[in-house]
Amino acid sequence: MMMHLPPRRLGHLLARVCVLLCLMATITATAAVAGSSPSFVSDRITARLITAENGVAPEAKSISAAIEVTLAEGWKTYWRAPGAVGYPMELDWSGSVNLSGHELLWPAPERFSAFEIENYGYADAVTFPLRLALESPGDALIVETDVNMLVCADICVPELFTLSLALPKGTQIDRDAAGLIAEAATRLPVSAEMSDIAVTEAALQREQNLLEVVAQSDTPFADLSVIPDLGLNASFGPPEIALSNGGKTAHIRFDVLATPEVLPPLQLVVTDGTRAASFAPELGERVSAPPAVGSGLAWFFLLAFIGGVILNVMPCVLPVLTIKFASALKARDQSPARVRAGFAMSALGVLSFMWALALVLLAIRAGGGSIGWGIQFQNPYFLTVMVTIVTLFAANLFGLFEITLPQSWNTRMAGSGASKGVAGDFWTGALAAVLATPCSAPFLGTSITFALAGSAMQVLVIFTALGLGLALPYLLVALWPRAVRVLPKPGAWMNTLRTLMGLLLLGTAIWLLSVILGVAGGTATATIALLMIGMLVVLTLLPKGRALGVAGLAAVALIVPMAAPAPAPRAMAASSDWAIFAPDQIAAEIGAGRVVFVDITADWCLTCKANKSLVLERAVIVEALGAEDVTPMLGDWTRPNEMILSYLKEHGRYGIPFNIVYGPGAPEGIALPELLSKDIVLDALAQARG
């Protein structure tokens, strides 16, 4: 007996049977790759559909999914607003069963410029997160999407393919796919409310074909990119970006090449290193004018000057400064003109080094290299020169030798009004400036960041201010040379003082050798140390005044780093209490509810050493960093490290120490000042916990 069913019920029944048959066939075909569709592969791309779940949990209303795309070298695909040419990825879900809707999420794109054509999209690899809504919560699901993706290199090729997978009822999780989707989610722009970046003004002037945007940030912009979206029919020229307020305010202008007749709401994606945020600002008639060139420069000039003054009392500069004033004791009975000339030349030595350093950094930046404060201490050649010079200065203070200029030079300088020894004053000032560069001080980081992120003129002005601050003690004595008259009269006690100063410089040389150990390895360090000891022995045995032969011995030391084999890779974590610095793991730690304390340090950074001994190694801080919900990460910048340099640049920093705390209450991080204190660290940890 056959039961008669109404056509509508019969259609529903047949549909359910088809769903079950398709589901069984698909599960059988893809059992080995649950949570992932078969990959589509061409010469240009590889793509697949992945889901975080291997099954549909009871009452589940949605599924987390993503389309993972890997592009061949040289190929790119497009963002939702592709720019002047191209089109975004198109998806057709009509072949799916039990799917009521979907939401495609777009990661922050890159900018591509060629032949004055601006495009926005992705290269190398991109994962597009998806939110798939179920028509019948808790029921099995068949996902099938027809993909139309344009990929371009020298030519553009549409890639047309279908991705599909089936999910039965179940509660299993595909951990690999879930991890990929979670990582892709960290690349999505956050909302304006969750970002420390803000778009404060936006204006579209259609008569002038101009789009203007003003953006502000709590930390200086380091690698700013602003990508506008006015629909598929809009295109723009390359942005013109003017930074002010120490790099925290940006005025951005775009030439508008095309817009639709009816303007949709403006959307912007602002990226700066790892930061990315989306905005939908209201369009006004015009924005406030950017500050004039040089505006605010006076403020940063003052900060740099104060930072230079503070450097005078840092441990790395104090020995050389003390030596200069020890030499002033000998000048006590000299004429004011001679005292003024000597101290003025020392100030010129400081400024000359700062100018030379600024020019070198500008040359590196112009060549596409990365720059930072103190990076010369990562170079074994520079360190070898420094340890040689410092050792020679110490030997001179011990009375092992004296370098005298030829008589003809002395006669010529006397005839020009100069005095013997002025060249030595110049190099003493330069040495003080050199030894200042591994130090950081309050106000220094802010002014250096402003300079290195700005124009060549700003770099030179800020480094001049820094040099003037560091040279201030020399300049004060040059302006008031009779100040040396208040110093004690020379006597036998000066020999003790010279010996003490020599020991201080030997301590500096030993510290430099420890830095070389981290940079160039044990072989180079041991060889240099033996050469320095040999140099001191020879100087002791030679008659005073015959130091020329020793200069050849010192020059041999410069060959050592070239001949020494490259040292083994250096472990970045100092102990089991600290994790190796891994910026790509920070988001996962925050997602797990943990706090991350990042410490970027180096063997040559004396301010870092002070922070470590005075703050980070105190019992209360050790206990706080050892808490179960805290992950301390240590990044060692003793040697060049592009990952660390890029990380510093992303956070608007060009020097160390750099400490930042992340957590559920501070996902963007809380940057700490150069000089730490117990309260600063504990407050940041508490705030990051939320």
* Rounded-to-integer distance, Cα 609 and Cα 675, Å: 11
Answer whether 29-185 and 192-279 agree in fold. Answer: yes
Local structure of residue 206 (DSSP, 8 states): T
Residues 469-518: pLDDT tens digits?
A: 888 988 888 888 877 776 666 667 667 777 777 787 788 788 888 888 87
pLDDT at 267 over 90: yes
**DSSP-assigned states of every residue in 148-194:** EEEEESSSEEEEEEEEEEEE-B---B-HHHHHHHHHHHTTSPBPGGG
Mean pLDDT of 15-40: 54
Q: What is the pLDDT of residues 301-329, one digit of tens each?
A: 887 888 888 777 765 566 666 666 666 66
Question: What are the C-alpha distances in Å from 210 to residues 199, 227, 234, 383, 547?
Answer: 17, 14, 12, 51, 68
Lowest-pLDDT range of 12-26, 29-43, 246-260, 466-480: 12-26
Quick one: CATH architecture of 29-185?
Sandwich (2.60)
Maximal CA-CA distance, the chain: 131
605 and 438 in contact (C-beta within 8 Å)?
Answer: yes
Q: Where are the domains of the chain?
A: 29-185, 192-279, 297-563, 579-689
Residues 382-409: tens digit of each pLDDT = 778 778 777 777 777 677 765 544 445 4
Query: In the predicted model, is pLDDT for residue 79 greater than 90?
Result: yes
CA separation for the pair 428, 345 (Å, rounded): 9
Question: How many other β-carbons are positioned within 10 Å of the β-carbon of residue 509?
Answer: 22
Structure tokens at 676: 């730490």
**66: β partners:** 50, 129
State percent of the chain over pLDDT 90: 29
The pLDDT of residue 668 is 80
Q: The tokens 């040089």 sit on which residue?
A: 294
User: Over 50: is that where the pLDDT of 8 sits?
Assistant: no
* pLDDT, position 274: 82
Taking residues 353-363, what's their average pLDDT?
A: 84
For 52-56, what is the mean pLDDT? 90
Per-residue pLDDT band at 288 (split at 50, 70, 90): confident
- Cα 215 from Cα 200, distance rounded (Å): 6
How far is residue 649's CA from residue 557's CA, in Å, rounded to a whole number? 34
Q: Is the peptide bond before 657 cis (omega within 30 degrees of 0)?
A: yes
> CA-CA distances (angstroms) from residue 506 to 329, 346, 530, 536?
21, 21, 14, 11
**Which DSSP letter does residue 2 get?**
P
**What pLDDT is attached to residue 214?**
94
Fold of 579-689: Glutaredoxin (3.40.30)
Q: In this model, does residue 606 exceed pLDDT 50?
A: yes
- Spell out a b/e string for 346-357, using b for 16 or more CB atoms within 10 Å of the CB, else e: bbbbbbbbbeeb
Determine how β-strand 267-272 pairs with β-strand 110-114: unpaired
192-279, what's its fold?
Immunoglobulin-like (2.60.40)
What pLDDT band is residue 331 in, cutting at 50, 70 and 90? low
